[in-house]
Structure 1
Amino acid sequence: MSESVRILGVPFSKLTFQETVKLLEHTAQSGGRDKPFHLITANPEIVVRYQEEPKLQEVMHAADLITPDGIGIVLASRWRGEPIAERVTGYELLVELLSIGQRHGWSFYLLGADEETNRIAAEKIAEQYPGVRIVGRHNGFYKLEEEAGIVKEIAAAEPDFLIVAMGAPRAEHWIYKYKSAVRAKVAFGVGGSLDVIAGKVKRAPVIWQKLNLEWLYRLLSQPSRWRRQLALPIFAFRALLECRK
């Protein structure tokens, strides 16, 4: 893993957004791996769960790179005196890789979201990034007995990028479980990114993003998220406590 800072046990990459993109671009172009490069974009909620779930610890320790998907992670790194330059989010990485993928003719497999959202997202990607190849897709609401067939389908497609939109940490567990079988070059979870691409969910306006208040915008637009947001004060308390040790 590249230079990192440990926050509540999680080794977060200190690479900037563009440095992360360059690393993924090099990985996709070089090939020669028997398993995909597993990227995890982790926010404070995932860090709190990491501390409480041994299986998630196993998954994250085996990842190739963990990026800070949340301003809380960036602030915690500053409290430790080992500052991370900026957030590196799953959605922004996906959009940038799709843009670069036009030049390289990269292939993507989209796994996750509901069937309509998955289909519309694939159609919009094909329309907006015609140089990119969507070599397969499947919604995330399948029966357990279908899973082996989905894994075989992904392996047969051999995508450059396996995009898993199942929400965290389900996506991370899924990739960890099947990364020896899917034959992708890079795999990472993107949360609700396909919902945004498909137009089902609106991303926070740019001003909210610049003010690092995207979390508040999502809470106000989706009040049902309040239980998930309870992890934020827990994370802040634990991170501050860690800094004082």
Structure 2
Amino acid sequence: MRDELKGHKAAFFGLPLDTRRHRLVCADIALGLRKGTATANRACFRHHCLNATKLPAALRDDRLFAALSRADCLSADGMGIVWAARLLGIKVAERVTGIDLMTDLLAQFAQDGTRVFLLGARQDVLDQLQGTLPARFPGLIIAGTHHGYEPDDEKLADCVAQATPDAVFVALPSPRKELFVDQYAAKTGCRFAMGVGGAFDVLAGNVRRAPVIWQRCGLEFLWRIFCQPRYMIPRYGPGLWAFARLVAPRIVRFQLRRFWCALQKVATISLIFMMLTTAADLQAQPTTTATFDLENRQAAISWIEAEIAKVEATEDVAKLIDALIGAVLSEDGTNQQSDIDWQVAEDSLKVLLGLFDVVLGGGSSRFLLETVLGGVVLRLLDLHPDPGRLSEIVRGNSSDLAERLFERNANQALIFAGEQQSFTASIEPEVAPRVVGSVRPPETERALRYSLLFVGGPRNPVVDSYWGVEDYQEPIGIPELEDASPR
């Protein structure tokens, strides 16, 4: 239905419908006549008009259909054709009526000196036109006229040929005028032939044309019915009904196909959007998952290495510690002490310490691994009913980690005491500093001072208030200077 024939033509029920605007059609015809005069080219340009009543008649009459198919220009003379074509996907620019095209062509022919022959209608109408048209279009040459009551088209063609016109306007009834233009226009010797229907009566003033507002709304056929009901109702009624029955099913099928194609496009776009959204959600998921199986040694080692490699922020370390705590306690992370089987948890911790020793030996980030594992141990110390027992397990299975958690921070007090003593001696060598004492703090306190491992998870409220004023204690093991002011 939308197959392009060439340039400005589109297939409309098998007919080559011209989709151009009125002014372009008029300019093309006038330019063709001027070129034909300059080159002595006697080829005849045949123009036809297509309306709602003529289309079903053409599909019933093979001769009429062939004549319209061979037209050099087939214009949409009727809003019914324009609306139907647009609903079928053909971009028709506007309605091109026969009488408007003829009027503009007469004005152009008057300027170019084109000889015009008027064929058809009654003789009194032709006599009126011979007087009114030259007055309306100064310079117009009417080469001859002939009424349309001669039944022999061959004789009519010979009569027209004797006048040697350049353009012939045929106002015979349809389909006779289409067949005459198709079969006899070339025999008349003219270079342009056009069927105009009842345009002669309108130009002569015998028939009043519809108001402009009716023309723009496409209701000119109703005006003609109102003006000549006894003649137009039998002519338009069956034709319009046949046209509606012809075009309505095709329009419905075409619009349903268009709707289905649009629905498929929308569904495809929606599916792509959903896929992109799902992919974005997957990428936005936390890098650390709670799936960790201590029973599968190799899989657990691979999981630890993969999760350590994903760590980019402090929040990632906290999530990783939470996942390992859940795996050790074999529960969902509620951390309710009454629900924990500490015998199983201690065995799981031993396995976890062994896994981290393997990962440490593989060249992974030692500081990050010790931070994560230290965080796990400190969290378990908070939850375990016997922290001393848990500390012995850590010492027995990971001495390096135990040293960092339990021993190294205690030794820092003694080291700082020696440095403070050296500093005092350099300022006041004659006065020996008085050292208050070096009492080693409890093991739990030393472990909880491993500040780098306080990452995420619930802690003992006492420990969390490490910087609180009420829990502040005097440093133990730090030398006290009696007086450091210069004398």
**Structures share a fold, TM > 0.5?**
yes
Q: Are the counterparts in 2 of residues 2 and 13 from structure 1 also a CA contact under 8 Å?
A: no
Which amino acid is 1:81 matched to? Answer: G
Question: What displacement does 1:180 show?
Answer: 2.7
Which amino acid is 2:21 matched to? Answer: T
In structure 2, the residue matched to 1:162 is 168
Which amino acid is 2:197 matched to? Answer: G
Residue 81 (structure 2) aligned to one of 62, 68, 73: 73
Please state whether the residue corresponding to 1:44 is helix, strand or coil: coil
In structure 2, the residue matched to 1:48 is 56
Q: Are the counterparts in 1 of residues 154 and 184 from structure 2 also a CA contact under 8 Å?
A: no
Q: Are the counterparts in 2 of residues 7 and 239 from structure 1 also a CA contact under 8 Å?
A: no
Matched, 1:173 2:179: yes
Cα displacement string for residues 143-181 of structure 1 (whole angstroms, at most 9, x for unaligned residues)? 53xx54432232233322100001222111112221231
More strand by share: 1
In structure 1, the residue matched to 2:218 is 212
1: CA distance between counterparts of 2:176 and 2:55?
14
Change (3 A) 1:77 1:148: closer
1: CA distance between counterparts of 2:87 and 2:104?
30
Matched, 1:8 2:13: yes
In structure 1, the residue matched to 2:150 is 142
CA RMSD of aligned residues (A): 1.6
2: CA distance between counterparts of 1:24 and 1:242?
33
Matched, 1:99 2:112: no
2: CA distance between counterparts of 1:50 and 1:153?
28
1: CA distance between counterparts of 2:70 and 2:165?
21
2: CA distance between counterparts of 1:19 and 1:82?
18
1: CA distance between counterparts of 2:191 and 2:74?
17
Please state whether the residue corresponding to 2:188 is helix, strand or coil: coil
Which fold has the larger relative contact order, with Cα–Cα distance below 8 Å and residues 6 or more apart in sequence?
A: 1
Residue 65 (structure 2) aligned to one of 49, 57, 60: 57
Please state whether the residue corresponding to 2:58 is helix, strand or coil: helix
In structure 1, the residue matched to 2:233 is 226
Residue 151 (structure 1) aligned to one of 136, 154, 157: 157
Q: Are the counterparts in 1 of residues 157 and 185 from structure 2 also a CA contact under 8 Å?
A: no
Which amino acid is 1:86 matched to? Answer: E
Cα displacement string for residues 195-237 of structure 1 (whole angstroms, at most 9, x for unaligned residues)? 0111111111112112211010001111121122121232133
Question: What displacement does 1:241 show?
Answer: 1.5
Please state whether the residue corresponding to 2:82 is helix, strand or coil: helix
In structure 2, the residue matched to 1:38 is 46
2: CA distance between counterparts of 1:237 and 1:109?
38
In structure 1, the residue matched to 2:191 is 185
Please state whether the residue corresponding to 1:158 is helix, strand or coil: coil
1: CA distance between counterparts of 2:65 and 2:219?
28
Change (3 A) 1:179 1:2: farther
Which amino acid is 1:70 matched to? Answer: G
Q: Are the counterparts in 2 of residues 102 and 129 from structure 1 also a CA contact under 8 Å?
A: yes
2: CA distance between counterparts of 1:134 and 1:47?
32
Q: Are the counterparts in 2 of residues 175 and 188 from structure 1 also a CA contact under 8 Å?
A: yes
Gaps of 5+ in 2: 1-5, 255-487
More helix by share: 2
Change (3 A) 1:14 1:158: same
Residue 240 (structure 1) aligned to one of 248, 254, 260: 248
In structure 1, the residue matched to 2:415 is none
- Greater C-alpha Rg: 2
Question: What displacement does 1:242 show?
Answer: 1.9
Q: Are the counterparts in 2 of residues 167 and 189 from structure 1 also a CA contact under 8 Å?
A: no
Question: What displacement does 1:131 show?
Answer: 0.8
2: CA distance between counterparts of 1:56 and 1:199?
30
Q: Percent identity?
A: 30
Which amino acid is 1:95 matched to? Answer: T
2: CA distance between counterparts of 1:167 and 1:6?
25
Question: What displacement does 1:119 show?
Answer: 1.3
Question: What displacement does 1:17 show?
Answer: 0.3
Q: Are the counterparts in 2 of residues 8 and 238 from structure 1 also a CA contact under 8 Å?
A: no
Which amino acid is 1:6 matched to? Answer: A
In structure 1, the residue matched to 2:97 is 89
2: CA distance between counterparts of 1:37 and 1:203?
28
Q: Are the counterparts in 1 of residues 120 and 146 from structure 2 also a CA contact under 8 Å?
A: yes
Q: Are the counterparts in 2 of residues 34 and 183 from structure 1 also a CA contact under 8 Å?
A: yes
What TM-score do the two structures reach when normalised by structure 1?
0.93
In structure 1, the residue matched to 2:28 is 23
Q: Matched residue pairs, number?
A: 243
2: CA distance between counterparts of 1:109 and 1:159?
6
In structure 2, the residue matched to 1:196 is 202
1: CA distance between counterparts of 2:26 and 2:157?
26
Q: Are the counterparts in 1 of residues 99 and 199 from structure 2 also a CA contact under 8 Å?
A: yes
Change (3 A) 1:54 1:78: same
Q: Which moved more, 1:231-240 or 1:7-16?
A: 231-240
Which amino acid is 1:151 matched to? Answer: A
Which amino acid is 1:167 matched to? Answer: P
